[in-house]
Amino acid sequence: MLQIGILTVGSPAKMRVERRLIDLPVNVHGVDLSPPDHTWLPENCTLELDDITRPWTWNKKFDLIHGRYLTGAFTESEFNDVYKQAFDHLVPGGFFEEMEGDIGFYCDDNTLPEDSVLADKNHKAVCFKASQNLGRPLDATEHMATRLEAAGFINIKVRHFHCRYISLEHKLTNFQIQDYKVPIGAWPKHPLYKEAGRIKHQEVKSGIEGWMSFLLTMFAEPKWSTAEVAELLRKYYKDLDAGYHIYQRGRRVWAQRPFDA
């Protein structure tokens, strides 16, 4: 049977949920800096602990290399280097795919009040500037396509997708709507989106303390005190639980290594 080799970078959370991989003719290698918080993996999956900004030592080539939510993980030159190494580790004609989100909160139906911390554009700018000071700007969505082109990829396609859970359904059904959303909270009516929103809400609520504390106390100008961050988090938790119809935006890019490269 044809076996497809997949490398997924920055991967533990993804591999945990991919139980369906076990039924597919694929061998999946996952690589991450830190060990997963679970022990079960599909038997056709291998998880390795390594730093993908260092020279890749796999002596095989992959049919697909995939990454998701790596924004903020790398400097610009590290991103360029990861794409170049991905190019070199793909079979001719193989694909690279990446999905990323930006750092804003959006709302289409005015349920989000203008004075909410979630709608505060100045605060978003402060966080973004802190990520620039860190040397790892949270703007991967803006640069993925041009960096892939610079690494030699062709047939680069970009799709704004606003719900990562729905994007798979999108592919399977050839459903041609481009404007998906990653809902935050169980506000959507559709059961699939409602479940996606519940999970995303949990992810944001559990991550926000670490993200804000790290960026604002160490890299903002001026640096915030822990008391200031605690006050900010109080506003976040209140507004995240307020039932506003909020979502985040995402972007998906895929590209091909030329057959003759």
Q: How far is the CB of 221 from ligand SAM (least distance, A)?
A: 25
Q: Which residues would be at the binding site for ligand SAM (CB under 6 A)? A: 10-14, 31-34, 51-53, 68-70, 73
Q: How far is the CB of 139 from ligand SAM (least distance, A)?
A: 15
Choice between 14 and 257, CB closer to ligand SAM: 14
CA 83, 17, 101, 154 torsion-angle sign: positive
Choice between 42 and 242, CB closer to ligand SAM: 42
Helix (H, G, I), strand (E, B) or coil at 31: strand
In a 13 Å sphere around the CA of 173, the CA atoms on its Cβ side amount to 8
Strand order in the sheet with 62-68: 45-49, 26-32, 4-9, 62-68, 90-101, 250-256, 154-161
Q: How far is the CB of 98 from ligand SAM (least distance, A)?
A: 10
Q: How far is the CB of 170 from ligand SAM (least distance, A)?
A: 17
250: Cβ–Cβ under 8 A, 6 or more apart, which residues?
99, 100, 101, 102, 141, 160, 161, 162, 163, 164, 180, 182
81: Cβ–Cβ under 8 A, 6 or more apart, which residues?
53
What does R_g of the chain's alpha carbons equal in angstroms?
19
Choice between 87 and 244, CB closer to ligand SAM: 87
Q: How far is the CB of 216 from ligand SAM (least distance, A)?
A: 18
Choice between 81 and 239, CB closer to ligand SAM: 81
Choice between 12 and 185, CB closer to ligand SAM: 12
